[in-house]
Amino acid sequence: MKRREFITVLGGAAAWPFAARAQQPMPVIGFLNGNSSEAGAPLLAAFRQGLREQRYIEGENVIIEYRWAGGQYDRLPALAAELVSRQVAVISAGSPPAAQAAKAATSTIPIVFTSGGDAVQLGLVSSLSRPGGNITGISFLVDELSAKRLSLLHDLVPNVGVIALLLNPSFVGSLDQVKGAQDAARSFGLKLEVIAARDEDDIDAAFARIGELQAGALIVAADPFMLTVRAKIIGQAASHALPAIYNLRDFVTAGGLMSYDASVFDAYRQAGTYVGRILKGEKPADLPVLQPTRFELAVNLKTAKALGVKFSDNLLSLADKVIE
């Protein structure tokens, strides 16, 4: 063989491993969420940020398969099964119903949840420090957050004696939120009225019932379904002149009065980070369930003026986001 031909062959052989690596398929992430794609867009942006921190960028070195339930939780088991049949590398599950559906669908594919409620009590993990199995994630203590929302609302409108709690009984974390709000209401000598709304058609009737009960303020429970119908809820709260507190800043930027929650955006960023670490080879069983350390209060001064309520200087000093 001539020297030039030998060098050409040798050069081609050296390139084979690189060509093989280039042809390897990109890992696929399953993104299972109880929200609609529109309502969940800010959460998805935070999740992608976490992936970027682990050097994963959608379309460049990773693919994301999306499954949105649009607030219809009975769809989640089938959507989870679709992701399992797609043989995704890892599933990101947002909200307790999504996490439970994902866990029921597979015991082998790694799962990272972002969930309100006690992850142990919900049956997602055996313990927070040593989750075991194929699942880990970020967990919110929703009863404590619900109590804090009632406290903030009471600080804003201290003369109100009846407060309504609007929730979806179909949502797994609803009972914990009721308990937290009820405990706080008793401590302030307030009456808490629980109002159910399972779908969008129930919202008008729920607000009519709130009016009948002469509730002077409203807590909207943390629930992906509530986020999907936030425009209707905010509109009804305004037409009934009800000061209301929500769980996400998205409600406040859309015209709601105030919100308080652990930073759900930071939680989704952390979930993206965990997914990236799992793609690099770490095991869910070795990653402890995280609990949020950042909390966010947002207020809307324009809405407050329209409702005839005024935030105290102390409350404003606590706010992380003030919309004027």
> In this structure, are 201 and 166 located in the same domain?
yes
> In this structure, are 185 and 307 located in the same domain?
yes
CA–CA separation, 110 and 130 (whole Å): 15
From the CB of residue 233, how many other CB atoms can be counted at a distance below 10 Å? 24
Write down the pLDDT at residue 9. 45
Residue 315 forms part of a structural domain:
yes
> In this structure, are 269 and 303 located in the same domain?
no
CA–CA separation, 205 and 209 (whole Å): 6
Write down the pLDDT at residue 15. 47
Residue 225 forms part of a structural domain:
yes
CA atoms within 13 A on the CB side of 136: 24
Residue 1 forms part of a structural domain:
no
CB 287 within 8 A of CB 238: no
> In this structure, are 129 and 157 located in the same domain?
no
Within its chain, how far is the Cα of 252 from the centroid? 16
Q: Total structural domains in the chain? A: 2
> In this structure, are 127 and 200 located in the same domain?
no
Strands across the sheet with 111-116, in order? 63-68, 28-33, 90-94, 111-116, 135-140
Residue 227 forms part of a structural domain:
yes
pLDDT band at 311 (very low <50, low <70, confident <90, very high): very high
Residue 2 forms part of a structural domain:
no
| pTM reported for the whole predicted model | 0.77
Asked if the model's pLDDT at residue 14 lies above 60, the reply is: no
pLDDT in tens, 168-216: 998 877 888 898 899 999 999 999 999 999 999 999 999 999 999 999 9
> In this structure, are 201 and 234 located in the same domain?
yes
Write down the pLDDT at residue 184. 94
CA–CA separation, 94 and 90 (whole Å): 13
> In this structure, are 15 and 118 located in the same domain?
yes
> In this structure, are 215 and 242 located in the same domain?
yes
Identify the domain containing residue 100 by its residue range.
Answer: 7-140+263-293
Write down the pLDDT at residue 16. 44
> In this structure, are 175 and 313 located in the same domain?
yes
234: CATH:
3.40.50.2300
Residue 107 forms part of a structural domain:
yes
> In this structure, are 104 and 183 located in the same domain?
no
Q: What is the mean pLDDT of the chain?
A: 90
Q: Which amino acid is at 198?
A: R
Mean pLDDT of 71-100: 95
Most confident stretch, 100-104, 259-263, 288-292: 100-104
pLDDT in tens, 212-271: 999 999 999 988 899 889 999 999 999 999 999 999 899 999 999 999 988 888 999 999
> In this structure, are 307 and 171 located in the same domain?
yes
> In this structure, are 184 and 119 located in the same domain?
no
Residue 21 forms part of a structural domain:
yes
